[in-house]
Amino acid sequence: MSAATTAGAEAARRRTFAVISHPDAGKSTLTEALALHARAITSAGAVHGKGNRRGVASDWMEMEQARGISVTSAVLQFAHRGQVLNLLDTPGHADFSEDTYRVLAAVDCAVMLIDAAKGLEEQTRKLFDVCRHRGIPVITFVNKWDRPGREALELLDEIEQEFRLKPTPVTWPVGIAGHLRGLVDVREPGTLLRYTRAPGGAKEAVEESVPAERAALEEGADWEQAVEELELLAADDAVHDHAAFLAGRSTPVFFGAALSNIGVRLLLDAVVDLAPPPGDRPLEGGGTRAVGESFSGLVFKVQANMDRSHRDRIAFLRVCSGVFERGMTVTRAASGKPFATKYAHSVFGQDRSAVETAYPGDVVGLVNASALRVGDTLYAERPAVFPGMPTFAPEHFAVARPADISRTKQFRRGIAQLDEEGVVQVLVSDVRGEQAPVLAAVGPMQFDVVTHRMAGEFSAPVRLEPLPYHLARATDAAGAEQLNRSRLVRGEAMTRLRDKDVLALFPDLWQANSFAREFPDARLDPLVAAHG
């Protein structure tokens, strides 16, 4: 079998998807529940790792386990029904939008998680906009139906009105939120799926199929209401249309409770049945790279110190085409230089193992790949360059200084590493010099990550001094000189270390507009908004 045929056949077996949501919607819990149902893990822990149970497999960072939130993306690969699933867990908090955007550049589908009580929330809307912009089809999971919440039909109306997306239920709840009696698989409407949850949700919930006659007798008004609602939805043509789903015009909807493992199996099956396999990828400047062509891949994330014993650095590579083989020499498109892939791992949360071969859709961890940066394209044989990833507009700025001057070397190394990972953007000003870099962040929680990791991973505690700026604009050397001699505007020009771009920082939009009036010929371009 030729390499192209092998790549195409293996790509057809892959499903690479992300789980996205607003904070506290249960995203990491769902991530682990999916892995549990796929038999990738044997016991699920709650987000906070209650009792003697560990935290979720995807939240491997100490800070994540302590706070019960995801602050970095994670990769979980496992098999289900003969298919290989690459699940990319994403940070839900808006402060980490850049990390989520990078992950969405590496997936073919997204599972959008909605809290049954809260419905669509701000970050959910922003992430959906990114999916729509990138042409990523979305499967919706309404979570926490075992707790009090809103009406199911009301939530569907909200999705349709706000997203201009036709919601097509695949499962439907019997019983209102907080009084869940079971689920109906719309494809088999004559059966009630009733669940008995395991203590603490550590194991799969026991699922029982109850015939319609018995369900009507035992559930009474709840069953009757569910049947009437399904008839109403069918009359409204709210039926799954696969072409419409792939085109981004509809979203299949599932109901359940991730913490109780209710409805998770049906969602997992849907990822296999509905999510698209890897396909041809658009190239920078036009054209596509077919999955069967020679190897190519996109670096979408860089992470250091996942292994505390070795303090190494991993570049996460999404295989886009062809066959990846460990040890192969490829070309880094940005430099045109060869790159050896001797140390390649498959990753499951923090755990990893050597990988010999990977196919389109798979994620490979390249260890100690210090030359690689987020957005890099690697290829073999025929050149390829995938579209780059934008750097978001920061809104929070702080000067970083070593708390212990004797740890200056470690301080510089740590700041440079966090800049390469994209944890923060690092700026340098003529006023302070490189010994006092300015950290630029989309949200203030990024600074918490910096202080935590600098102290814990690099043994270089930092002091952060906030700056009075909240608006950044792209400028050039001439604009920087004009800003420095302006007598009307409070502002400062700085250079971003990552790409040497010059940024003009202002306290607010009024000051930026005042500068534009004072120097009408100055370059002052908006940066990409944090929602992508």
Annotated binding site for GTP: 89-93
CA 98 to mean position of chain CA atoms: 9
SS3 assignment for 460-525: CCEEEEECCCCEEEEECHHHHHHHHHCCCCCCEEEEECCCCCEEEEECCHHHHHHHHHHCCCCCCE
**Residue 81 structure tokens:** 């029904």
| Phi-psi domain of 147 (left: phi exceeds 0; alpha: psi -120 through 50; beta: other) | beta
- DSSP assignment string, 370-389: TT--TT-EEESSS---PPP-
CA 443 to mean position of chain CA atoms: 16
| Phi-psi domain of 200 (left: phi exceeds 0; alpha: psi -120 through 50; beta: other) | left
Closest C-alpha among 43, 41, 16, 19 to residue 30: 19
Strand, coil or helix: what is 199? helix
Q: How far apart are CA 360 and CA 346, in angstroms?
A: 14
**Residue 171 structure tokens:** 């499962």
Residue type (1 letter), 83 = Q
Beta carbons of 441 and 401 less than 8 angstroms apart: no
Binding-site sequence positions: 89-93
H or E segment at 367? Answer: strand 363-367
Q: How many CB atoms lie within 10 A of CB 149?
A: 21
Beta carbons of 57 and 41 less than 8 angstroms apart: yes
DSSP H stretches of helix in 280-384: none
Q: In terms of DSSP bridges, do strands 250-255 and 138-143 run parallel, antiparallel, or are they unpaired?
A: parallel
Q: What dihedral do alpha carbons 408, 409, 413, 416 form, nearest 10°?
A: 50
Q: How many CB atoms lie within 10 A of CB 477?
A: 11
Beta carbons of 94 and 127 less than 8 angstroms apart: no
